[in-house]
């Protein structure tokens, strides 16, 4: 159904395709997965640190029979030039078109984690690193988190929620901002918003004023919700946002209008230092399950008795990253006959 496709944003996948991969992951989780990628190779390129994504991507691909090359930018790669037709007299030693072309000849897929370095949201949201690799590679690209999206996290979350709740249509998800000492990427909440609205959930974006998610992506999510029978609304008070929720998804993200201005952003977030998930705050929900993509700042974003409580699915989420990645690699890369993949 999705063989040969890039996995860069959930926006490029239909709801039935998302559900198909979730169903495949559930089957593989229950019955085993074999080695459909015997002889295949994956290049992983990290521009930022990673724990769950690095481990789950590497283990998923290798346990399917493939080989993994794991590279860190700044240590294993030359400095890359992203601009087309650039006269390369600066710090960049290699153009991304050459790096992507070579890795495409070595490997069957390339996975990228790049959160951006721009000081302006309008520039950062272009996601130039992953878009450049997409443009110049000749093999599928997997997004391991970019400025705008974290599709494999959201896909794994869909698996976790289906296992717990069954059909997600009509279920209520509160995606809530939580205080953290520093701004984090908007990729996770963006991905979760797209996933939930595509799958027919009623989504409440709960955050203090000034922490709105990207406007264009919110408009996309509203269209998704209209098409799927779900809904999207916003709330600026924690109790209002969590009221009646079946799922409370906690995340901490930065203010787009203060992107690249950390001191001003810090002053704004400090005004909301008390915005955290406690047992009392969760009581406003409909006995909701708790989700968090991790890493979680305990007793700052959410209290221990929420993180470790009986309604927490946080560790199941983390485990399901491995299962959904196996399903995605199989769906995108495994040959139709199931007898292993050849070199890229």
Calpha distance 118→127 (Å, rounded): 10
114 φ, ψ to 5°? -150, 110
- Tell me whether residue 191 is in a domain: yes
pLDDT in tens, 160-215: 999 999 999 999 999 999 999 988 999 999 999 999 999 999 999 999 999 999 99
Calpha distance 143→340 (Å, rounded): 23
Same domain, 142 and 40: yes
Same domain, 304 and 183: yes
User: Contact 227/261 with Cβ under 8 angstroms?
Assistant: no
**How many folded domains does the chain comprise?**
2
Same domain, 182 and 313: yes
pLDDT in tens, 70-112: 999 878 888 898 999 999 999 989 999 999 999 999 999 999 9
- Tell me whether residue 3 is in a domain: no
Calpha distance 202→42 (Å, rounded): 37
User: Contact 161/290 with Cβ under 8 angstroms?
Assistant: no
pLDDT in tens, 224-256: 999 999 999 999 999 999 999 999 999 999 999
The parent domain of residue 101 ranges over 10-150+321-333
pLDDT in tens, 6-60: 999 999 999 999 999 999 999 999 999 999 999 999 999 999 989 999 999 999 9
CATH code of residue 134: 3.40.50.1370
Q: What is the dihedral of CA 286, 291, 297, 303, to 10 degrees?
A: 30
The DSSP call for residue 9 is: -
Q: What residue spans of 137-214 are helical by DSSP H?
A: 151-165, 187-198
- Tell me whether residue 172 is in a domain: yes
Same domain, 116 and 226: no
Q: How confident is the model at residue 338 (pLDDT cuts 50, 70, 90)?
A: low
pTM exceeds 0.75 for this model = yes
């Amino acid at each position: 159904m999705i063989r040969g496709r890039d996995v860069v944003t959930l926006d490029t996948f239909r709801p039935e395709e998302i559900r198909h991969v979730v169903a495949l992951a559930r089957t593989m989780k229950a019955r085993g997965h074999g080695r459909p990628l015997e002889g295949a190779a994956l290049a992983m390129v990290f521009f930022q640190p990673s724990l769950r994504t690095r481990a789950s991507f590497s283990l998923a691909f290798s346990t399917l029979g493939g080989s993994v090359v794991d590279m860190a930018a700044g240590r294993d790669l030359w400095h890359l030039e992203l601009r087309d037709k650039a006269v390369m007299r600066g710090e960049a030693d290699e153009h991304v078109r050459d790096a992507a072309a070579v890795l495409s000849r070595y490997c069957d897929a390339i996975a990228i984690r790049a959160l951006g370095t721009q000081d302006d949201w309008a520039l950062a949201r272009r996601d130039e690193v992953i878009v450049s690799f997409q443009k110049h590679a000749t093999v599928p690209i997997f997004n391991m988190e970019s400025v705008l999206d974290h599709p494999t996290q959201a896909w794994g979350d869909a698996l976790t929620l289906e296992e717990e709740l069954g059909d997600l249509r009509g279920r209520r998800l509160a995606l809530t901002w939580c205080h953290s000492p520093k701004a984090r990427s908007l990729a996770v909440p963006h991905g979760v918003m797209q996933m939930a609205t595509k799958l027919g959930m009623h989504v409440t974006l709960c955050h203090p004023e000034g922490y709105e998610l990207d406007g264009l992506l919110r408009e996309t999510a509203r269209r998704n919700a209209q098409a799927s029978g779900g809904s999207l609304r916003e709330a600026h008070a924690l109790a209002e946002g969590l009221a009646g929720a079946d799922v409370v998804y906690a995340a901490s993200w930065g203010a787009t209008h203060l992107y690249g201005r950390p001191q001003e952003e810090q002053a704004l977030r400090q005004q909301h230092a008390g915005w955290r998930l406690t047992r009392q705050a969760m009581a406003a929900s409909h006995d909701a399950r708790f989700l968090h993509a991790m890493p979680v700042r305990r007793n700052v974003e959410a209290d221990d008795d929420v993180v470790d409580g009986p309604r927490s699915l946080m560790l199941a989420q983390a485990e399901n990253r491995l299962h959904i990645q196996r399903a995605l690699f199989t769906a995108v890369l495994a040959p139709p006959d199931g007898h292993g993949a050849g070199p890229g």
